[in-house]
Amino acid sequence: MVSTALGNPFTLGFPRGQVDLMSRLKRNEQIPPCVYLVADHLDAALAAGEDLIAAAQSWQPGECCDPAIVGVQRWTLSRVMTYEMALVTRVVKAREHVADLADAAPHFRPLAQLFVSGTRDLYEALKVIGDTAALDFDTGDGTIAYLRSRGLIAADAPGLADYAPLTVNDDFLVASRIPLGVVLDLISEFIEALDAQFELYPDEPEFASDSSPDGSFSVLPGDEPSVRADSAA
């Protein structure tokens, strides 16, 4: 009789982790492509929001007459503006694909409609943000006007105090319209809903050995053995 090194006959089959992976791949083939597009844009939007908060930490308080201080402040503010623009752009891109998602997965339509309605202000704001000529005219391309419009200083404040920190938090008005915390919560909830419905972020399969303590390989229920070694005297 042909046997293993431990003297036991063996049966070869797919390890459990590989079986789980193959079934997952088959399931992914049934997920509409627009789901991945929406998730990708929302992931990027979430990252941009986190970077927006972190960027403000580079702000250097100091006297406004100091050229070095002014340079750091302008650089920091330009990063804040860049991440804000990235956040709005990604949300609007996701919004475009959410319409396709509602058609591809009708049962998801109510939640898709909530997302579209909740981000309408950002869609409208993107056109204004992109029109730099109108923005420069309305605000004088001024730092103080931007800080006021984002709720970083009071509307009647003459400016940011010399030694005051620049704090971007959940109250920051994205595109001067929606609090940052509301936007990030909306994004997170929609990503979680997509994951719950389509299992976009499954746990990694464990490719552990399925061998039994005596050294023989176990066969999963319902799996036919691919090879069986038997003897012949």
Render pLDDT for 66-116 as a digit per residue (tens, 0 to 9). Answer: 888 888 888 998 999 999 999 999 999 999 999 888 888 888 889 899 999
CA 28 to CA 103: how far, in whole Å?
Answer: 18
E strands within the chain? 11-12, 173-174, 178-179, 227-228
Residue 178 β-bridge partners:
174
82 within domain boundaries = yes
232 part of a folded domain: no
- Top pLDDT among 156 and 92 is at 92
- 7 in a domain, yes or no? no
pTM of the entire predicted model? 0.70
Q: For residue 224, is it within any domain?
A: no
Q: What percent of the chain has pLDDT over 90?
A: 34
Who contacts 118 (Cβ-Cβ below 8 Å, separation ≥6)?
186
Is 139 domain-assigned? Answer: no
Residue 174 lies in a domain: yes
Domain hosting residue 113, numbered range: 33-129+162-198
Domains of the chain: total: 1
Residue 134 forms part of a structural domain: no
Q: By the 8 A CB rule, do 67 and 177 touch?
A: no
φ, ψ of residue 104 in degrees (nearest 5) = -75, -30
The reply to whether 23 falls in a domain is no
